[in-house]
Amino acid sequence: MTAPLHEPTADAAPSAAEEASLAEAGGAQAVQGRSLGRIAWERLKRDKLALTGGIVVLVLIVIAILAPAIAHLVGQDPETHHENLIDPLFSTPKGSLGGISGDHLFGVEPVSGRDVFARIVYGSRVSLLVGFLSAVVAVIIGTVLGILAGFFGGWVDAAISRVMDGLLAFPQLLFIIALVSVMPNEMLGLTGTDVRLFVMILVIGFFGWPYIGRVVRGQTLSLREREYVEAARSLGAGRLYILFKELLPNLVAPIIVYTTMMIPTNILTEAALSFLGVGVKPPTASWGQMLSSAIDYYDSDPMYMVIPGVAIFITVLAFNLFGDGVRDALDPKGSR
């Protein structure tokens, strides 16, 4: 599920601008013979914050993949109710700090007594799955349409650009809320939560592609006038060849940068949707849904709000730091 962050296409030709900037920086010793990927990796390695972010992201991915094993390790699962741990008068967990104990590392949920640790661990699956896959959807659509618009120009460009403008002006959160609430319970062989996940991924991705599409289009516009493209064209290369062999490799850097930037936003969108009650269905755990149910207990059981809040915060922060580092590494001159 990881994006190919560390080894972008090896044969990507470093642009003249890149080379020049490196020479100016004067930090590099051997200027020749290094690929863009390698240069970026060298830069990334020096950026401690970005590396920390990257490590946290990796850890989160491992947690998401191994969620059942981790929950099993602490002897909990996200759906078992423990009403005996709930104060019958107040509906909140017995004991201090939301019922944190050796058995329940992060305490238990108010009312149902489900283990918060297990739900956080399982909730990471929903967040990361939606975050990554919807970014993938956006990248695919955005790259294809952006490249087409930039390369062909004319009415194709006009049409695609207007669609992008339209989508950017669309109140996407409201649209998703409306769409998710009218979705059938069964669709394409999926049921319940899977339908919701599927719809969320598609829709978040669909509304995200113009951001990537615009960048790709702009980049393509400038790249198609470059000499090497001219050269390829004069040697008789076909359109497809130019698109995929000449242009695409040079678009990899901005695409990667935008993907890493898009994932945390998508994670927040998922959390917002779950918070508003149109995310995954119960009993599936999700951080946004936990936050939403914590509202009623923020006073009497603040830990229940703090824990998923911190989980979202750490995840988004890690992705942002990492994405920032990747951008600095790949595109040090990028306009900020």
Partner 1 sequence: MNCYPQGPVADPRAAYQFGGSEIVTTQRTSGRRKQAFAAAAAVAALLATAACGGGGKDNGASKDGAAGFDAANNKVAQASLAKKGGTLKFAGAQDADSWDTTRGYYGFAWNFMRYYSRQLVTNKTAPGKTGAELTPDLATGLAKITDGGKTYTYTLRDGITWEDGKPITSKDVKYGIERSWAQDVLSGGPIYLQQVLDPDNTYKGPYKDKSADHLGLKAISTPDDKTIVFHLPKPNSDFQEMLAMTSASPVRQDKDTRSKYALHPFSSGPYKFQSYDPGKSLVLVRNTSWKQSSDPVRKAYPDKITVNFFTNANDMDQRLIQGDFDLDIGQTGMSPQGRTVALKQHKENLDNPVSGYIRYAAFPQSVKPFDNVHCRNAVIYGADHKSLQTARGGPVAGGAIGTNMLPPSVPGAEGQKYDPFGFLKNDGAGDVAKAKAELKECGKPNGFKTTIAVRNNKPVEVATAESLQASLKKIGVTADIDQYDGSQTTGIIGSPSNVKKKGYGIIIMGWGPDFPSVQGFGLPLWDSKYILQSGNNNYSLIKDKTIDGLFNSYVKEMDATKKAQIATEINHKVMEGGYYLPFVFEKFINWRSSRLANVYTTDAYSGEYDFVNLGLKK
Q: Is the four-CA dihedral 250, 254, 259, 260 of positive or negative sign?
A: positive
Q: Is 126 in the site for partner 1 (CB under 8 A)?
A: no
Which residue among 191, 222, 238, 245 contacts partner 1 (CB under 8 A)?
A: 191
Q: Which is nearer to partner 1, 1 or 49 (CB)?
A: 49
Q: Is 324 in the site for partner 1 (CB under 8 A)?
A: yes
Nearest of 164, 148, 124, 174 to residue 1 by alpha carbon: 124
Q: Which is nearer to partner 1, 110 or 123 (CB)?
A: 110
Question: x/- site string to partner 1, residues 61 to 100, per CB under 8 A?
Answer: ------------------xxx-x--xxxxxxx--------
Cβ-based neighbour number of residue 117 at 10 Å? 20
With beta carbons less than 8 A apart as the criterion, state whether 65 and 128 touch: no
Q: Is 44 in the site for partner 1 (CB under 8 A)?
A: no
Beta bridge partners of 93: 86
* Rounded distance between C-alpha atoms, residue 161 and residue 26, angstroms: 40
* Touching partner 1, residues 224-263 (CB under 8 A): 258, 261-262
Sole window of 6-14, 33-41, 223-231, 268-276 interacting with partner 1 (rule: CB under 8 A): 268-276
Q: Is 194 in the site for partner 1 (CB under 8 A)?
A: no
DSSP calls for 128-158 = HHHHHHHHHHHHHHHHHHHHHHHHH-HHHHH
With beta carbons less than 8 A apart as the criterion, state whether 215 and 277 touch: no
Which residue among 40, 255, 305, 329 contacts partner 1 (CB under 8 A)?
A: 305
* Rounded distance between C-alpha atoms, residue 289 and residue 278, angstroms: 9
Burial readout 218-234 (b: 16 or more C-beta within 10 A, e: otherwise): ebbeebbeeeebeebee
Q: Which is nearer to partner 1, 37 or 264 (CB)?
A: 264
C-alpha 91: how far from its chain's center? Answer: 36
Q: Rounded to the nearest whole angstrom, what is the least distance from the CB of residue 23 to partner 1 in the complex? A: 25
Beta bridge partners of 285: none
Which residue among 1, 45, 298, 333 contacts partner 1 (CB under 8 A)?
A: 298
Q: Is 52 in the site for partner 1 (CB under 8 A)?
A: no
Q: Rounded to the nearest whole angstrom, what is the least distance from the CB of residue 227 to partner 1 in the complex? A: 28
The number of residues that bind partner 1 (CB under 8 A) is: 55
* Rounded distance between C-alpha atoms, residue 134 and residue 205, angstroms: 4
* Rounded distance between C-alpha atoms, residue 176 and residue 20, angstroms: 45
Sole window of 57-65, 228-236, 242-250, 291-299 interacting with partner 1 (rule: CB under 8 A): 291-299
* Binding stretches for partner 1 (CB under 8 A): 49, 79-81, 83, 86-92, 110-113, 181, 185, 191-192, 208, 211, 258, 261-262, 264-265, 268-269, 272, 277, 281-283, 293, 295-300, 302, 305-306, 309-310, 313, 316-317, 320-321, 324, 334-336
